[in-house]
Structure 1
Amino acid sequence: MHRNSTAQTAKGSMSQWKQIQQLEIRLLEHVDYLYDDNFPMDIRQGLSSWIETQDWDTAANEEPMAGVLFTNLLSQLDRVRSQEQNFLQRHNMKIIQQQLQVKYTSNPTAMARVISTCLREEWRILSSACMQEQGPLERSLQHSVAFERQKSMDNRVAIIRGSVQLMDQAVKSIEDMQDDFDFRYKTLQARESSDARQNPEMMKQEVTTLQAMLNSLDFKRKEILSKMDDVIKEIEDLMSSQLNPELQDWKRRQQIAAIGGPQLTGLEQLHSWFTLTAQSLFQMKRQLDKLADLIVKVTYESDPIPLQKPQMEERVKYLIYHLIKSSFVVEKQPCMPTHPQKPLIIKTGVQFTTKVRLLVKLPEVDYQLKVKTTFDKDLPPGRVSRQFFILTNNTKVMDIEDYSNGCLSVEFRHLQLKEKKYINGTKGNEGLLSVTEELHSLSFEACFTVQGLTIDLETCSLPLVVISNVSQLPGGWVSVMWYNLLSDEPRNLAFFGNPPRATWSQLSEVLSWQFSTFAGKGLNKEQLSMLGGKLLGQHASCSDYQVSWSKLSKENISGKPFSFWMWLDSILELIKKHLMPVWNENYIMGFVSKEMERTLLKDKEPGTFLLRFSESHLGGITFTWVEHGDNGEVKFNSVEPYTKNRLSALPFADIIRDYKVISEGVVPENPLKFLYPDIPKDEAFGRLYNIQPSKVHPYITSTLIPISQLRSNTTTTPSSCQSPEPPMTPGEFDMLSEHLCFDINSMSSPYSE
């Protein structure tokens, strides 16, 4: 434990990017996936320090702030470029700067979202590097994006593409052979009657030559059709055995990324594979059309083209149809801009965004491709108790994205839901499921014509949870997590009618992701073990133990008025809003029980303390310190938990620094000396203290100091004081000290949970 804390302290002074560069190659390969043309690694490298000091999370949701950061980023690039000595590197940075201006000048929040995501994912990778082993989900995802598979696909698609292009030359060769045959045949016809009488031998030789040419032409036609058949079979196998599985794998990884897992990558690679395969099929269709034109000029008995071409053409059309239909995907799942890290939860009356994309770059589209959105399309009656409709415009035209190699996509940025009211003014009947367990779906439809083929496109979002109040957000998010952890069926809207169980190894990994996503750093093995003990009791050591949906989110913790998830979610909110610096330094032990806390502290130096989350309060953190009496008695003191209301007034690191205990006849002092196991308090928290700037004015500055009154029996019995008011200022404290009259209701007291 001590070694881990020390390592984290040492890393605290090192930039995130420097820590990233020290990772092993296996993890660096995952970092490499984060950066592309949307956020080049050159920028991350050149502006690493500046980037890490900006609030990209807030900018991702506030356009004015995003605009300022975008302008500042360009200025920073100007500065770095002017200092660069290498001419080529300076030129490359200029190109990157111009590309960024084109992409983000009109939409700077998009840039902020990209950078925010990259930084968050870097943190997740660093966190996973600190853990001894990765969870089963992440291991399976790493395997699914193995470089060997990508290389195999690249090679196979390239071979098919090359074969099809060679067939173009073969068709051209057949056309030339046929032109020669046609010319000689018509020439022979023109002089047949006269030459047959004058030179029968020459005519016989010419006929023999024509027959040889026809035989050769027949051989070439059969050869090209055989090669086409082989390529069609190869494409059929490619689509069924590799391309469709790769697409399904990407969709599964999209689900995992949505609930905090590894960042989603691979869409551009899929776009390349789909497009190259489609180009090969369209080219083969043109080749078959060309062969059909050839038989208009020359055909003969047992000609292979009219016998085989119709069936081949149908197979090629079938493959084109299904390839394009499957390439219509939801690139960005529905998400409210106000909660970018919690997709698939939609609040009525609040705008949300989503984006669909066609993975095939089409050679031509006969008219504008309009996409229509529909909510709960074809939902069986009685499936849900509430019904909704899209209040805003639900149809948009797909555009070509300049920065994505010409793919067609459309982003709906202003969709909004409204609940349907019935004739009597009431809502639907109450269903068996809670509001946050009802699953809904957003469908997308389009129809277009390409090269004579009419193709109906349809896809749908992952299941959505619709809420009407922000208080339902925690319940909605745990539903989204549970569904995407355990189901990969996008239309399984009855999932919570009989939700499956999850193993603790699966659930613990997802819970760790929540902390890396919302709090900046995931959970280590010790913290996960502590959490498992709280949720599972004696089964905590069994990674395959089955956890029910009810156990996680519906049943109250024994003796408490709240569920395990509500307790954990309140801690996440507390860390995110008030404890992030302390949490990311690995100073909060977190989920240790009172019994384990005392076991850890009993043999430590007096004043040794540790930080843990309250087990009885929602969203509370407390600290406990150890003392030794004159008779060798070990005493433990725990302060009443600090919640968001109290931490809004005073940063937690400052509370640790300024905390005082008052007891009768003793000068007030700070009992906190060493952060467990043995780190001096100021050494651990010194960098996090809020240093007040000096001010030149006639007033004496005042400071809020957290104070507890220590009674002789508070080590064994809970305090009877009411919820504390804000801590006293030094002036108030001095005044009360002089009169020896302490208002207990205005002070914190040692606390025992």
Structure 2
Amino acid sequence: MSQWKQIQQLEFKYLEQVDYLYDDNFPMGIRQVLSDWIESQDWDMAAHHESMATVLLSNLLSQLDRQCSQEQNFLQRHNLKNINKQLQIQYKAYPLLMAGVISTSLREERRIIASANLPEPGPLEKSVQNSVAFERQKNMDNRVVMIRSSVQMLDLAVKCLEDMQDDFDLRFKTTQSRDPADRNTEGMEQEVTRLQEILNNLDFKRKEILSKMSDVIKEIDALIASQLNPELMEWKRRQQINCIGGPLLTGLDQLQNWFTLAAQSLFQMKRQLDKLGELILKVTYASDPISLQRPQLEEQVKYLIDHLIKSSFVVEKQPWMPTHPQKPLIIKTGVQFTTKVRLLVKLPEVDYQLKVKTIFDKYLPPGRVHCQFFILTSTTKVMDVEESSNGCLSVEFRHLQLKEKKYVNGTKVNEGPLSVTEELHSLSFEAQFNIQGIHIDLETCSFPLVVISSVSQLTGGWASIMWYNMLTDEPRVLSFIIPPRASWGQLSEVLSWQFSTFTGRGLNREQLCMLGEKLMGQQASHNECQVSWSKFCKENIPGKPFSFWMWLDFILELIKKHLLPIWNDNCIMGFVSKETERACLKDKEPGTFLLRFSESHLGGITFTWVKQSDSGEAKLISVEPYTKSRLSALPFANIIRDYKVIADGEVPENPLKFLYPGIPKDESFRRHYNSQQSKVFPYISSTWIPISTLQCVHNSLLLSSNLSRPDNACRPAPKMCI
């Protein structure tokens, strides 16, 4: 079943997550009409190769043209034409960006499908689930609506007060203009009495309005403190978790709606207070409540506006390189990266007026001089209104680049106490907000970044990003000198997310248990065990020349580039200890095999099968691990299909019959076989066949042998023959 058909069968709550994936950057209309073609292309590869991305963009537009010409529905044809035109404008000069967008969308779809079948969420996901609860949103919506209604009623009250004051002012001036000889008459006394009554009512009305204003201001203050600020902080925490592979990030549009309604209420109250200031210029008196209370209320409103507007300036999309969309917050010098800033307050008066400036490492910790950088490209851009979406005010920087400073104040930069991949940096954004006489300096900053100069540093840099965002939400704690420890419950969840992000399928409990044992040894329960930063990615695994994280990251790359279809088809058991492997296979019939990742090779996969000896005893035989260099020449499914063993002069045979626990090999792998036979006349076809020569079967292959043997002990050495 195609991925898109699987999506359409999901529950509504998952469909809402899918809906969030698609916007003007990748309209859902294209995903629908070209679903099969889109899924048949290698967008992950295209996102890293501009020539391939250019070809796919051209093919996409051609497919869209063909679909448009065949479409019978006039409205649908019109929409497809507009989408075609929009894509050409948006991506013609940036095909890599298009490939990255589509690659990310397809990957997120796979994650949503996988999450629909996942068991109970882990500790990190649990920590951010409550923030999207329906009841909380409903309560917030009702509260904001009540405030807006109260402010609207105040508008009517101020208008009524103005009419009452105009009536008093007219009567008072009329009385003053009368002849002095008439001032002691009975009619004049009645008029003065009437004026006093109106003034008393005026005073009462002023006090009533000011009291209601005070109540509404308190309500807005409580709303911001108790709900808006926490919701924003939780959204930022969800953004952190999403950056390292966690659940899909949603909720910013809802936050914008709340921020905008709160800001509109405050600005409306500011105008009401300005109006009251105008009224006392015409009519005032001793103990006038407006003169006494208005300054304080005005200060409160201005303070709340200042706080709300500053809080609404957020980084919507954290810095990321289109070449590595799954690893945001890692920037390579000399490579363009993208980021997006947004104002969560929609006010027409400030449209197209906010100029945003980017600053790198504005808050560089004192005393740290290692690896300083500056922005090479333009650092200033004006915020624009996204007319095609929700009308938010935002700015996207798509062509930022960093360059390293070799000298600071004429002195050559020295090395610091940390490695390059442990140095954390930040990107700050500044703007000046001016409206109705209010001036506000806006500032926000990205999550901590790691800056690398070589792709070889990507593995270490991503470890730092994962560790930091997993354990802290402090945006300016830019130090790895004393990194905190992580519980295995937290770390295992993040590691599973890496597989979901890169492959579409996370790790199950058994696989995570094996990883826990590899990192911390055998424990009754790993969940509460603490893992140090050094143990995770700096210290080598005992007896190996690489760290735990390097070993795991190489496996991720191997899956992504060479094993993805059979991994997602659940053909690879993957992380299996020697003991578990033996327990699984010891009672199986000859020819049963399983696939697992090598513990001795970086980025290696091997298969172990059951062979019956001449004495009738079961033996386990493992082939030397296949790594990316060998899998680049031949698909792994073909290796499984064509693998042969020659032993003691026997006829070559394929020992792989049943995928554990007992599925016929072809039933599991047939759809993944790739025919590479030549069809050009007059040549006959040729096929690469992997062959192992098994000269002897050593006793260490018996089930009773030493369980701690390395992967390559007495292994048949695979050879590629034609």
SS of the residue corresponding to residue 331 of structure 2 reads: strand
TM-aligned CA deviation for residue 210 of structure 1: 1.9
* Correspondence for 1:67 among 29, 45, 57: 57
* Correspondence for 1:580 among 564, 582, 586: 564
Q: Give the whole-Å Cα distance in 1 for the aligned partners of 2:199 and 2:80.
A: 59
Taking a change above 3 Å as real, the CA distance of residues 246 and 77 of structure 1, as seen in their structure-2 partners, is farther
Taking a change above 3 Å as real, the CA distance of residues 590 and 617 of structure 1, as seen in their structure-2 partners, is same
Q: Give the whole-Å Cα distance in 1 for the aligned partners of 2:542 and 2:683.
A: 52
- Give the letter for the 2:135 counterpart: E
Taking a change above 3 Å as real, the CA distance of residues 37 and 192 of structure 1, as seen in their structure-2 partners, is farther
* Correspondence for 1:530 among 507, 510, 514: 514
TM-aligned CA deviation for residue 391 of structure 1: 2.0
Taking a change above 3 Å as real, the CA distance of residues 663 and 617 of structure 1, as seen in their structure-2 partners, is same
CA shift digits 1:604-654 (9 cap, x unpaired): 111000000011000000001001124221111111110001000000000
What is the match of residue 540 of structure 2?
A: 556
Preserved contact between residue 373 and residue 403 of structure 2 (Cα < 8 Å): yes
- Give the letter for the 2:687 counterpart: T
SS of the residue corresponding to residue 288 of structure 1 reads: helix
Q: Give the whole-Å Cα distance in 1 for the aligned partners of 2:644 and 2:365.
A: 63
Q: Give the whole-Å Cα distance in 2 for the aligned partners of 1:719 and 1:32.
A: 51
TM-score normalised by length of structure 1: 0.88
What is the match of residue 470 of structure 1?
A: 455
Q: Give the whole-Å Cα distance in 1 for the aligned partners of 2:598 and 2:279.
A: 82
SS of the residue corresponding to residue 667 of structure 1 reads: coil
- Give the letter for the 1:236 counterpart: D
SS of the residue corresponding to residue 668 of structure 1 reads: coil
TM-aligned CA deviation for residue 95 of structure 1: 4.9
Q: Give the whole-Å Cα distance in 2 for the aligned partners of 1:702 and 1:654.
A: 14
Q: Give the whole-Å Cα distance in 2 for the aligned partners of 1:294 and 1:104.
A: 57
TM-aligned CA deviation for residue 386 of structure 1: 2.1
- For the pair 1:728 / 2:721, whether they are aligned, the reply is yes
* Correspondence for 1:146 among 122, 127, 133: 133
What is the match of residue 376 of structure 1?
A: 361
What is the match of residue 305 of structure 2?
A: 320
What is the match of residue 214 of structure 1?
A: 199
Written as runs of structure 1 = structure 2, the 5 A alignment for 1:446-465 is: 446-465=431-450
CA RMSD across the alignment? 2.6
- For the pair 1:604 / 2:588, whether they are aligned, the reply is yes
* Correspondence for 1:411 among 396, 399, 404: 396
What is the match of residue 654 of structure 2?
A: 670
Taking a change above 3 Å as real, the CA distance of residues 425 and 190 of structure 1, as seen in their structure-2 partners, is closer
What is the match of residue 262 of structure 1?
A: 247
- Give the letter for the 1:187 counterpart: T
In structure 1, stretches of 5+ residues that fail to align are: 1-13, 85-89, 730-753
What is the match of residue 565 of structure 1?
A: 549
What is the match of residue 17 of structure 1?
A: 4
Preserved contact between residue 474 and residue 566 of structure 1 (Cα < 8 Å): yes
What is the match of residue 706 of structure 2?
A: none
Preserved contact between residue 365 and residue 449 of structure 1 (Cα < 8 Å): yes
CA shift digits 1:668-691 (9 cap, x unpaired): 111100000010000000011113
SS of the residue corresponding to residue 716 of structure 1 reads: helix
Q: Give the whole-Å Cα distance in 1 for the aligned partners of 2:717 and 2:444.
A: 53
CA shift digits 1:679-734 (9 cap, x unpaired): 00000000111134672501111100000011223563756799866x111xxxxx
TM-aligned CA deviation for residue 385 of structure 1: 2.1
Q: Give the whole-Å Cα distance in 2 for the aligned partners of 1:584 and 1:643.
A: 19
Q: Give the whole-Å Cα distance in 2 for the aligned partners of 1:212 and 1:77.
A: 78
* Correspondence for 1:242 among 190, 208, 227: 227
Written as runs of structure 1 = structure 2, the 5 A alignment for 1:160-559 is: 160-191=147-178, 193-196=180-183, 200-365=185-350, 368-422=353-407, 427-494=412-479, 496-539=480-523, 541-559=525-543
Taking a change above 3 Å as real, the CA distance of residues 113 and 419 of structure 1, as seen in their structure-2 partners, is closer
SS of the residue corresponding to residue 523 of structure 1 reads: coil
TM-aligned CA deviation for residue 567 of structure 1: 0.4
What is the match of residue 117 of structure 2?
A: 130
SS of the residue corresponding to residue 338 of structure 2 reads: strand
What is the match of residue 119 of structure 1?
A: 106
Preserved contact between residue 677 and residue 686 of structure 2 (Cα < 8 Å): no
What is the match of residue 704 of structure 2?
A: none
What is the match of residue 78 of structure 1?
A: 68
Preserved contact between residue 386 and residue 427 of structure 1 (Cα < 8 Å): no
Taking a change above 3 Å as real, the CA distance of residues 27 and 350 of structure 1, as seen in their structure-2 partners, is closer
Q: Give the whole-Å Cα distance in 2 for the aligned partners of 1:95 and 1:15.
A: 24
- Give the letter for the 1:546 counterpart: Q
- Give the letter for the 2:467 counterpart: W
Taking a change above 3 Å as real, the CA distance of residues 657 and 362 of structure 1, as seen in their structure-2 partners, is same
Preserved contact between residue 533 and residue 540 of structure 1 (Cα < 8 Å): no
Preserved contact between residue 390 and residue 417 of structure 1 (Cα < 8 Å): yes
Q: Give the whole-Å Cα distance in 2 for the aligned partners of 1:324 and 1:708.
A: 69
Taking a change above 3 Å as real, the CA distance of residues 551 and 158 of structure 1, as seen in their structure-2 partners, is same
Preserved contact between residue 60 and residue 66 of structure 1 (Cα < 8 Å): no
- Give the letter for the 2:463 counterpart: V
Preserved contact between residue 364 and residue 451 of structure 1 (Cα < 8 Å): no
- Give the letter for the 2:721 counterpart: M
Aligned residues: 706
Task: Decide which moves more: 367-376 or 657-666.
Answer: 367-376
TM-aligned CA deviation for residue 24 of structure 1: 4.6
What is the match of residue 695 of structure 1?
A: 679
Preserved contact between residue 591 and residue 610 of structure 2 (Cα < 8 Å): yes
Taking a change above 3 Å as real, the CA distance of residues 384 and 498 of structure 1, as seen in their structure-2 partners, is farther
SS of the residue corresponding to residue 669 of structure 1 reads: coil
TM-aligned CA deviation for residue 308 of structure 1: 0.8
TM-aligned CA deviation for residue 46 of structure 1: 5.1
SS of the residue corresponding to residue 349 of structure 1 reads: coil
Q: Give the whole-Å Cα distance in 2 for the aligned partners of 1:97 and 1:151.
A: 39
* Correspondence for 2:36 among 46, 49, 65: 49
CA shift digits 1:569-588 (9 cap, x unpaired): 00001001100011010110
* Correspondence for 1:639 among 596, 599, 623: 623
Preserved contact between residue 503 and residue 545 of structure 1 (Cα < 8 Å): yes
Taking a change above 3 Å as real, the CA distance of residues 65 and 360 of structure 1, as seen in their structure-2 partners, is farther
- For the pair 1:710 / 2:697, whether they are aligned, the reply is no
CA shift digits 1:241-281 (9 cap, x unpaired): 11111111111111111111112111111222111111111
TM-aligned CA deviation for residue 154 of structure 1: 1.5
- Give the letter for the 2:503 counterpart: A
CA shift digits 1:362-398 (9 cap, x unpaired): 3424984322222211423323522222222222222
Q: Give the whole-Å Cα distance in 1 for the aligned partners of 2:69 and 2:103.
A: 22
Task: Decide which moves more: 716-725 or 387-396.
Answer: 716-725
SS of the residue corresponding to residue 622 of structure 1 reads: strand
Preserved contact between residue 386 and residue 420 of structure 1 (Cα < 8 Å): yes
What is the match of residue 146 of structure 2?
A: 159
Preserved contact between residue 357 and residue 430 of structure 2 (Cα < 8 Å): yes
Q: Give the whole-Å Cα distance in 1 for the aligned partners of 2:433 and 2:117.
A: 51
Task: Decide which moves more: 685-694 or 573-582.
Answer: 685-694
- Give the letter for the 2:268 counterpart: Q
TM-aligned CA deviation for residue 21 of structure 1: 4.0
- Give the letter for the 1:68 counterpart: S
SS of the residue corresponding to residue 626 of structure 2 reads: coil
What is the match of residue 708 of structure 2?
A: none
CA shift digits 1:119-161 (9 cap, x unpaired): 3222223223333322121222222211111122222112111
